[in-house]
Chains A and B, each alone.
Chain A
Amino acid sequence: MKMDLLTSLYVLMLAGFIGFEVIRKVSPLLHTPLMSLTNALDAIAVVGAIILAGEHKSTLSTVLGTIAIVAATSNVVGGFLITDRMLRMFKASGPRKP
């Protein structure tokens, strides 16, 4: 348990550094899509909710887990949809149609 915890802290630290380095390079042009994308990725919390609702350990946990899945899934679906919609609009100037 102690080793697991320490490993998790290492993982958190490394992910934090990767996050800073990767996200610093995102152009301010794309900061809105960045936020909607990280939001969709963050909804990976849905995996915890799925296990909670699916394991059916108590009525409370199943109810809360089910609502949590609904909330997170709407973020996954909505987040990816709108990010892609936004990014499709970004076009470079070049030969323009009339």
Chain B
Amino acid sequence: MSLMPSEQLIEITYLIATALFILSLKWLSSPSTARHGVLAGEIGMALAIVGTLLHHGLEYKWVAIALVLGTIIGVPLGKVAMTAVPQRTALSHAFGALCVTLVGTAEFYLRAPNVSKFMMSVLSLEVILGSLTFTGSLMAAGKLQELLPQRPITYKGQNIVNLGLLAVAIGVASQLVLHPEKMYLFPLIIGIPLFFGVMMIIPIGGADMPTVISLLNSYAGLSAAAMGFVLDSKLLIIAGALDGASGFILSVNMSKAMNRSFSNVLFGAFGQEQTTATATQETKPVKSATPEEAAAILGAASKVVIVPGYGMAVAQAQHKVRELYDTLTKRGVDVKFGIHPVAGRMPGHMNVLLAEADIPYDKLLDMDEINGDLPQTDVALVIGANDVTNPAARTDAGSPIFGMPILDVDKARTVMVIKRSMAAGFAGIDNPLYYLDRTLMLFGDAKSFVGSIVRELGGGGTHG
């Protein structure tokens, strides 16, 4: 009983940490308080770790070495370029899942064969979700970093193989729940989900990454919550539930933004489905314009909406776009940005890239906010975005993207599209926007084209 004060103290640090975690997320609701949120999270985390270290009878040697090593790995991961944030995030999901899986494995071998049915169920859930999230996230990170091919890889019967794998893992887990003494089965509920994680991501293409990263985020959270049940830690259950809820909300957002269901993302292999839509191959006339002409039109406009897509980030054009924003703003033009939820490779990625280029966040509007403005807009300038501006999503019931919410750039008085060539976008779908009377195609590299427009307008140069 002499331990009591110390144990109580530890529980109190956990309680305070939990409150700080919730406040941390609450403060993230607005950019003005968001940084307090990070601070609250950091204090909560520090309290919980210090509290845990007070735990009676711990040997510190390995713990200390591991904490130092983790910090050494973590610092460079906190300093990656903003374009690399999606793969960094995927990698951190993998690390989180690794931690959960290893702890679950150790707990099983410490307790087996005396494991209650409930304990074995949550343990199984913990390691199955943990291992599939681990390899799945590594695969996602590899694809995003372009270490692995980005194109979806599909084969006949893929979904049956994947579902079969999952079913086998669940079957083995239920055997273990009923007979925890069959300890030789345990490696299977790690091995099979590890393999499943790889197979699950193989058929998923680059444009589906925002949904997949969110979904993996949700799994990582749920596996941590399951670990909370195993260790009987309320703190962990709550942190896992918060993470799981966040990942779930983001996944739903992303699926809605693409008008697709979860199962469609996971089992659909979007990029592969070259439907009959590509049958119309005749070359239709388009109007193109030079940087001088584009500059003249932009300079004369009073309202401009810029619609950036992932192509802008690939071309590293965001700093030139900022110069354009500065130049036009100085001339009294009202410039705003319209951001589609799936622009970029993870939720909100485009906002981060534009904020990094020093564009004020109150000029970054999401799809629902900007669509009302577009009919009163003089020029909509599309940079590196394609499918998210495709009016066929509204009008052509035969289009593969029919029903997907889009940015209504075709309602602006003039539409300008910066594009390398007339090649079709990621999904291989033709975009009727390009053939409209009011559309001017600006052919070229986004970065140099925007640079030329800025020079024509007589601005730029100061921010090199």
A54 touches B63 (CB 8 A): yes
Chain A residues whose CB sits within 8 angstroms of the CB of B289 once the complex forms: none
- Smallest CB-CB separation from B70: which chain A residue? A73
- Complex: A57 Cα to B111 Cα, angstroms: 11
A71 touches B58 (CB 8 A): no
B324 to chain A, nearest CB (A): 15
- Complex: A7 Cα to B41 Cα, angstroms: 25
> CB within 8 Å of A: which of B22-37?
22, 24-26, 28-32, 34-35, 37
Chain A residues whose CB sits within 8 angstroms of the CB of B78 once the complex forms: 77-82, 85
Does B221 interact with chain A (Cβ within 8 Å)? yes
B38 touches A37 (CB 8 A): yes
- Smallest CB-CB separation from A43: which chain B residue? B96
Stretch of B155-163, B172-180, B223-231, B444-452 lying at the A interface: B223-231
Given A11-B234, A26-B29, A38-B246, check contact A33 B34 (CB 8 Å): yes
B15 to chain A, nearest CB (A): 12
> CB within 8 Å of B: which of A20-60?
20, 22-58, 60
B106 touches A52 (CB 8 A): yes
Given A72-B70, A75-B92, check contact A89 B45 (CB 8 Å): no
Does B352 interact with chain A (Cβ within 8 Å)? yes
- Complex: A29 Cα to B44 Cα, angstroms: 25
Indicate the member of B109, B352, B356, B362 with the most A CB atoms within 10 Å. B352
B194 to chain A, nearest CB (A): 15
Does B71 interact with chain A (Cβ within 8 Å)? yes
- Complex: A20 Cα to B246 Cα, angstroms: 7
- Complex: A64 Cα to B109 Cα, angstroms: 11
A37 to chain B, nearest CB (A): 6
B35 touches A84 (CB 8 A): yes
Q: Choose among B21, B213, B237, B250 the residue that contacts A12 (Cβ–Cβ < 8 A).
A: B237
B28 touches A35 (CB 8 A): no
Given A11-B237, A75-B92, check contact A42 B73 (CB 8 Å): no
Q: Choose among B79, B118, B362 the residue that contacts A82 (Cβ–Cβ < 8 A).
A: B79
B70 touches A77 (CB 8 A): yes
Chain B residues whose CB sits within 8 angstroms of the CB of A75 once the complex forms: 74, 92, 95-96, 99
Chain B residues whose CB sits within 8 angstroms of the CB of A54 once the complex forms: 55, 58-60, 62-63
Chain B residues whose CB sits within 8 angstroms of the CB of A83 once the complex forms: 38
Chain B residues whose CB sits within 8 angstroms of the CB of A33 once the complex forms: 28, 34, 348, 352
A71 touches B28 (CB 8 A): no
B70 touches A47 (CB 8 A): no
Stretch of B46-54, B275-283, B379-387 lying at the A interface: B46-54
- Complex: A44 Cα to B99 Cα, angstroms: 10
B53 touches A28 (CB 8 A): no
B25 touches A26 (CB 8 A): yes
- Complex: A29 Cα to B32 Cα, angstroms: 12
Given A78-B78, A79-B78, check contact A43 B99 (CB 8 Å): yes
- Smallest CB-CB separation from B348: which chain A residue? A31
A65 touches B360 (CB 8 A): no
Chain B residues whose CB sits within 8 angstroms of the CB of A46 once the complex forms: 49, 99
- Smallest CB-CB separation from A20: which chain B residue? B245
Given A11-B234, A68-B103, A91-B355, check contact A19 B360 (CB 8 Å): no
A39 touches B74 (CB 8 A): no
Given A35-B89, A53-B63, check contact A86 B82 (CB 8 Å): yes
- Taken residue by residue from 338 to 380, chain B's Cβ proximity to chain A (1 for < 8 Å, 0 otherwise) reads as 0101000011110110011010111110100000000000000
A48 touches B217 (CB 8 A): no
B99 touches A34 (CB 8 A): no
Indicate the member of B14, B24, B26, B74 with the most A CB atoms within 10 Å. B74
- Complex: A51 Cα to B235 Cα, angstroms: 14
A66 touches B74 (CB 8 A): no
Indicate the member of A71, A76, A81 with the most B CB atoms within 10 Å. A71
B250 to chain A, nearest CB (A): 6
Given A31-B347, A93-B360, check contact A81 B221 (CB 8 Å): no
Does B308 interact with chain A (Cβ within 8 Å)? no
Chain A residues whose CB sits within 8 angstroms of the CB of B37 once the complex forms: 37
B63 touches A50 (CB 8 A): yes
- Complex: A56 Cα to B57 Cα, angstroms: 10
> CB within 8 Å of A: which of B227-258?
227-229, 231-247, 249-250, 253
B360 touches A29 (CB 8 A): no
Chain B residues whose CB sits within 8 angstroms of the CB of A65 once the complex forms: 62, 102-103, 106
Task: Write 23 A-B pairs (CB below 8 A) sorted by A numbering.
Answer: A24-B249, A32-B346, A32-B352, A33-B34, A34-B246, A35-B347, A38-B25, A38-B243, A41-B24, A41-B45, A46-B49, A46-B99, A51-B55, A51-B58, A53-B66, A56-B62, A65-B106, A69-B70, A75-B74, A77-B70, A84-B35, A86-B355, A88-B35
- Which residues of A are interface residues toward B (Cβ below 8 A)? 4-5, 8, 11-12, 15-16, 18-20, 22-58, 60-62, 64-94, 98
**Which 3 A-B pairs rank lowest in CB-CB distance, beginning with the nearest?**
A73-B70, A81-B78, A77-B74
